[in-house]
Structure 1
Amino acid sequence: MATRKTAAGCGLSFNISSTKGLNSSASNRSVSVGFHTAKTDGKDVNEVAINVSGLDTYRNNSAGYYKDDGSGFVDIEIASGALIQVWVEYNNSAKQLDVTMHSIYTCKPKTPLLSLRKDLYPYLLEYMYVGFTSVGSPTSSHYILGWNFNSTGPVLPIAHSRLPKLPDEKDRSLSRKILAISLSISGLTLIIVLVFGVVFYLKRKKFLEVIEDWEVQFGPHRFTYKDLFIATKGFKNSELLGRGGFGKVFKGILPLSSIPIAVKKISHDSKQGMREFLAEIATIGRLRHPDLVRLLGYCRRKGELYLVYDFMPKGSLDRFLYQQPDQVLDWSQRFKIIKDVASGLCYLHQQWVQVIIHRDIKPANILLDENMNAKLGDFGLAKLCDHGIDSQSSNVAGTFGYISPELSRTGKSSTSSDVFAFGVFMLEITCGRKPIEPRGSPSEIVLTDWVLDRWDSGDILQVVDEKLGHKYLEEQVTLVLKLGLLCSHPVAATRPSMSSVMQFLDGVATLPHNLLELVNARKIDGGFDALGEAKESPGASSNTFSSVMMESFVSGGR
């Protein structure tokens, strides 16, 4: 590079900017390396500067270089017309931008003239303009005589013998001046564009998304991958809230609104069309109920699916049951959680315009807010159907221990299969143990069998979580245990609807006097049809129960 100052020329600045204009508003993000020969007030300067406007970051130093032997600093006059070699390098691993300069025909100094240690990636927008501007209105002549670039290692040394000569200042015409300025700007632009080219290429590739035409209708529910990536700090393990069989959950803060969110990354089942799946997600996103975690939207990228939920500060229920022994939930909290989940599930099954089958009810998907109110979340496996119409799902979905017998046989989920999982959940939160304990004694491996065995023996309260001691209401605990066994009955037609469950929990209705006999009936005549599915029509169900049972107690035909 060579510079010839004319009149009061202030110098040259290379810019990567979010706008084409010259405005300096706070919203304009830019990274620049400037070669200054005068200030705007006309005073002479001779310096090189790095400026990141969006960060209010500024580094400058007199033009020159540090001697390799440490004996001092040597000044270089930018506007002398002498040839100068400049290295602009950004190390993405070290997050450091270095600017080094030296007179030509010498090796690159070991110590950079300027260094800025800053991760530039989060502060550069997806689309940026790259170019040069003058520093101030007067003109200077800049020449780029040669450059080399390598994105994977050190650049080859410039072949000085092949560099062109500087044009004779006296013989240049006005047109040649304009041409020289244009060539210098273009050449220097290429140098720095190529230095940063790899960074921009990788960044754009990283956030590349394909949005198909049919997704336009889901626009309000779609998040960009870039926003989720920034919100979760690149999906780092430090932001990991939990993981399960269907994906990981990360905490995030949306970059513009600062709203806390939870992002679940899941693998979508290829057997179901993505279009139909996202239609259901968009529908579920319209749900508003105090006992349901709000589904804010989704993002899909390269076959990966991300579901975005409201963030619950207390986390999931399973942490309090199994991972935090110093924080024991008392019985009043557990009973309140049971009623909250029942209310949310009743809304999904019976109170919305369509039937929503959750398909994965378990403590890990029950989240707690700052006041320990429970909310049913994670609708990644949920299915929709109209009232009175069976679900068309034909694949087994859910978690081992919470899957009903008819679901494991036929693969068809229903509101009754949700009720089964809810019954297991009621027993789990009361007993403080998982549905399946492989290391337990033969009678204690399966939670439902163990509770039923204790009830048969007349000491059902022996199954209550030891961490509760005796600080609970026996009447409530007994109700929950018996109702849990009824909800998790192997015959779908025997299980109550969620509206009936709510009545029992609220004390509006009482359990039948022959409930133990009913629960013990593991196989009931007429309980299954030719396909092995439980019959759930009111007529068939009324034959299943004793005369004490009310028809309103029976699950609806879904």
Structure 2
Amino acid sequence: MDPSKRLWLSFPVSLLNLIFLVSLFGARPTFAASSISAEQSLSGDQTLTSSPGGNFVLGFFSPTRAEPRKFYIGIWYGKVSQSQKTVVWVANREAPVSDNTTSELRIAGDGNLVLLDRSGTLVWSTNATSVAANSTVAELLDSGNLVLRDGSNSSGRVLWQSIDNPTDHWLPGGKLGLNKVTGKNQRLTSWRNSEDPAPGIFSLEIDPNGASEYLILWNQSRVFWRSGTWNGQIFSLVPEMTSNYVYDFQYITTPEENYFNYSMKPNVTLISRFMMDLSGQIKQRTWVDNTGNWILFWSQPRAQCDVYMLCGPFGICNERSLPFCSCLRGFSEASPGSWNLSDFTGGCARRTPLLCPRNGTSVNGGDQDRFLRMDNIKLPDNYRLSLSAVTSAGECESSCLRNCSCTAYSYDGRCSMWFGELTNLQQLGDGGGTLYLRLAASELPNSKSSKGKIIGVAVGAAAVMLGAIALALALLWRRRRRRFKALRVVDGTLVPFRYGDLRWVTKNFSEKLGGGGFGSVFKGTMPDSTQVAVKKLEGIFQGEKQFRTEVSTIGTIQHVNLVRLRGFCSEGTRRLLVYDYMPKGSLDTVMFRDCSPVVDWGTRYQIILGTARGLAYLHEKCRDCIIHCDIKPENILLDASFLPKVADFGLAKLVGRDFSRVLTTMRGTRGYLAPEWISGVPITAKADVYSFGMMVFEIVSGRRNSDPVAEVKNWFFPTWAASRLGEGDMLGPLDPRLHGDARMEELERVWRVAFWCIQDEESCRPTMGQVVQILEGVVVVNMPPVPRSLQLFGDKPESIVFFTDGGSQVASSNMISSNSQNKSTTSTSSMD
């Protein structure tokens, strides 16, 4: 062979040998995908992936891309979109490193897992009593638990684990509790803000005094929420937190410790998490793949503004605005950067200093501090002084002005004054008190102006007005005539309204009837005196053509138990719907307000039956099945004769069905959500059936399902009702205001319908068409099994039988038949 060719062929072999030698002596050691041992380390973009399912990932992360960047060692979900990276545990949450490429996570000489910065300085350690380094292994498990174990023997004794040292997340298998021997309280502590995982101001922990309840604390000193005590099945104030087909919950107490933990049911692939949010709420969220988002399932405290000091000093909380916190007039954010990162606890600072009397004398009247009147305010929580000797509002104001420390006062027949910072202010829709906030005079418009200015303005205004008044009257007459013609509501016709017209008929949206997840509803009066309800939609982003097409489809759906759509408006980003006005309002107003007259049994039964007919029409009689997705008393309206009409049924079609998982849970209607909402499976019409069943309980009992009842310790109403019915007491759960005045045959039908509708498995629930037949007496059913979620009885083989008046059976293919009634059946069908 030619020597030159021989040299050419040998060159690649020599190059490969060189590469091999470099990799052997100069490269960073490799390590197993889910663990770190003594000779290995992790830095830069290297990660561990949990085994065997890859549910979790451990590595360096930075909560922000802004410079200078800060890096932390954390654990996050591996199967959640990285655009929604969700960190569940942070090692060095109070000590970030500045460079992840030169920092290392490794096993130290004492066997502990440690984080070293670029200079080799110890940043974080597991601080476990360990064995020699060459036998210690750190492994990330598929449960999200990072364990440090002794690898020198087959037992692999656990020396330390992250699940015993939680940060803000509580993962399945983890404990939240108190070690009575060491005094250690395993608590969840919120992040400081959305870009800083350092411990924040809010924490969740078990009662250190030994009571079987959990507390949320502000600054680890002020308790502002309690779970209620554990009764063996649920925490009394958190009925949502109960074992079901997804979770098993248990509270454990021993001489050494008290703790609560939970686990996922076998074969459940749902990704769900509990966290102490920086909003001051404990939240449960569920990942839904087809939306690519975390969905809020429940939160406590339920009202965001119930969180103590959420908005800080001189901040005010408003449930009807986003963000919830804002500064009082005359104040601005004390730390704008923190507010931009959703940390409002620093509160607000006064823009203009107050002027105070000096040496007992008043300052110049024009510069004297003044007061801003604020109505419908939840008054501050901090210290106030009540002056019984002050007998007028003017005297109360003067008393506050004379004291430099007085920042606000209120007078309701008695004078109250506040000093220093004002905390926990809340803007209410109605109710509350009137607060007078002290501000520098320059922060408020001066009520005094010169006579010359007043005269000049008056003369000029008069001249302009006299010149325009005749023209205005003529134009108004012509406009009203055109508008009357345009706004006539014609039966059977869907009217396209202009936004200006709807603003006119609602008097600039001045009379609000209510509101919900989709927007607010206002009362309007057409020129022919027809009353309508106008709904301003929020979060509807379809193009105008698509919106008009969808609305036209909904406008053709008419049923006596559905609220009729009269017209719509689609201009730019404005979307409004016009409905018939319902004079009795919504069902929740009639049923739950103390001032409302008691609704008799016959009316309640007709409301239940009419609502069922409306839903059956949506599910079974329309060209396409329409799933409402948000059945609750607020969405059932009543006309003058108490005829029920299902409202907002078109919004599921307009917005898409995934909206309800977000809006209804965020707006406080989670008690009506079927269990499948949290499992990520496609939603069927049976989700409406479940919600209907929960609402039936409330109609019959006259109370909210989750309202506390003094005489009942376990006050989740369906659970209590099941126990009473199990004892044969049909009247016990009935609204006591009815004094037992109900037809027993109808009451029995209603109880059976309600319990069948809330079965955990959707295949076990009847259709709404079957519900109508049961309520009408055409079909008879036996008492169903108690749902597992109610936690009263164990699993028992139960069954359902349908009987027609003629004796023939109409049975669902999903249900087992039995001979529990005094009529016979002709055929049976088995459940898969």
Q: What range describes the TM-score normalised by the shorter chain of this pair?
A: 0.5 to 0.7
Q: 1:414 to 1:117 in 2, by over 3 A?
A: farther
Secondary structure (helix, strand or coil) at the match of 1:401 reads: helix
What corresponds to 2:516 in structure 1?
244
Q: Return the match for 2:496 from 222, 232, 248.
A: 222
Q: C-alpha distance in 1, partners of 2:532/2:817?
A: 49
Secondary structure (helix, strand or coil) at the match of 1:248 reads: strand
Q: 1:518 to 1:246 in 2, by over 3 A?
A: closer
What corresponds to 1:417 in structure 2?
687
1:232 aligns with 2:506: yes
The answer to whether the 8 A contact 1:404-1:420 is kept is yes
The answer to whether the 8 A contact 2:705-2:717 is kept is yes
What corresponds to 1:123 in structure 2?
476
Q: C-alpha distance in 2, partners of 1:375/1:490?
A: 27
Give me the CA root mean square deviation. Answer: 4.3
Q: Deviations over 1:143-192 (max 9, x none)?
A: xxxxxxxxxxxxxxxxxxxxxxxxxxxxxxxxxxxxxxxxxxxxxxxxxx
Q: C-alpha distance in 2, partners of 1:384/1:522?
A: 42
Q: 1:221 to 1:551 in 2, by over 3 A?
A: farther
Rg: which structure is higher?
A: 1
- Superposed displacement of residue 464, structure 1: 0.9
Secondary structure (helix, strand or coil) at the match of 1:371 reads: coil
What corresponds to 1:515 in structure 2?
784
Secondary structure (helix, strand or coil) at the match of 1:382 reads: helix
Q: 1:447 to 1:322 in 2, by over 3 A?
A: same
What corresponds to 2:551 in structure 1?
281
- Superposed displacement of residue 304, structure 1: 3.9
What corresponds to 2:579 in structure 1?
309
The answer to whether the 8 A contact 1:436-1:445 is kept is yes
The unaligned stretches of length 5 or more in structure 2 are: 1-450, 453-457, 481-492, 798-811
How many residue pairs get matched?
Answer: 339
The answer to whether the 8 A contact 1:342-1:498 is kept is yes
Amino acid aligned to 1:230: W
Q: C-alpha distance in 1, partners of 2:819/2:496?
A: 51
Q: C-alpha distance in 2, partners of 1:420/1:553?
A: 25
Q: C-alpha distance in 2, partners of 1:291/1:327?
A: 23
- Superposed displacement of residue 469, structure 1: 1.2
If asked which structure has higher relative contact order (CA below 8 Å, sep 6+), I would say: 1
Amino acid aligned to 2:781: L
Q: Deviations over 1:18-55 (max 9, x none)?
A: xxxxxxxxxxxxxxxxxxxxxxxxxxxxxxxxxxxxxx
Q: Deviations over 1:87-123 (max 9, x none)?
A: 9955xxxxxxx227xxxxxxxxxxx988969997993
Q: 1:381 to 1:443 in 2, by over 3 A?
A: farther
What corresponds to 2:761 in structure 1?
491
1:470 aligns with 2:740: yes
Q: C-alpha distance in 1, partners of 2:774/2:640?
A: 28
Q: C-alpha distance in 2, partners of 1:553/1:496?
A: 16
Q: Deviations over 1:525-548 (max 9, x none)?
A: 9xxxxxxxxxxxxxxx84653456
Secondary structure (helix, strand or coil) at the match of 2:672 reads: coil
State how 1:116-195 maps to structure 2 within 5 Å. Answer: 123=476
1:263 aligns with 2:616: no
Secondary structure (helix, strand or coil) at the match of 1:462 reads: coil
- Superposed displacement of residue 471, structure 1: 1.5
The answer to whether the 8 A contact 2:506-2:525 is kept is yes
Q: C-alpha distance in 2, partners of 1:304/1:336?
A: 37
Instruction: Answer with 246-255 or 342-351: which moved more.
Output: 246-255
Q: Return the match for 1:254 from 502, 519, 526.
A: 526
Q: 1:277 to 1:511 in 2, by over 3 A?
A: farther
Q: C-alpha distance in 2, partners of 1:327/1:293?
A: 24
Instruction: Answer with 335-344 or 446-455: which moved more.
Output: 446-455
What corresponds to 2:463 in structure 1?
99
- Superposed displacement of residue 308, structure 1: 1.1
State how 1:77-88 maps to structure 2 within 5 Å. Answer: none
Amino acid aligned to 2:624: Q
The unaligned stretches of length 5 or more in structure 1 are: 1-67, 70-86, 91-97, 101-111, 128-218, 386-390, 526-540
Whichever structure has more helix as a proportion of its residues is 1
* Percentage of identical aligned residues: 36
Q: C-alpha distance in 2, partners of 1:381/1:285?
A: 12
Secondary structure (helix, strand or coil) at the match of 2:651 reads: coil
The answer to whether the 8 A contact 2:521-2:536 is kept is yes
> Normalized against structure 1, the TM-score is what?
0.53
Q: C-alpha distance in 1, partners of 2:784/2:516?
A: 36
Q: 1:269 to 1:440 in 2, by over 3 A?
A: farther
Q: 1:289 to 1:543 in 2, by over 3 A?
A: closer
Q: Deviations over 1:442-496 (max 9, x none)?
A: 8544332222222223324211111111211122122212211111112111110
The answer to whether the 8 A contact 2:569-2:577 is kept is yes
1:344 aligns with 2:586: no
Secondary structure (helix, strand or coil) at the match of 1:264 reads: strand
Q: 1:319 to 1:465 in 2, by over 3 A?
A: same
Amino acid aligned to 1:250: F
Q: C-alpha distance in 1, partners of 2:621/2:637?
A: 21
State how 1:449-464 maps to structure 2 within 5 Å. Answer: 449-464=719-734
Q: Deviations over 1:377-405 (max 9, x none)?
A: 123532399xxxxx975862543211101
Q: Deviations over 1:412-451 (max 9, x none)?
A: 4321001111111111100011132268788544332222
The answer to whether the 8 A contact 1:503-1:509 is kept is yes
Q: C-alpha distance in 1, partners of 2:572/2:643?
A: 36
What corresponds to 2:652 in structure 1?
382
Amino acid aligned to 1:515: P
Q: 1:113 to 1:304 in 2, by over 3 A?
A: closer
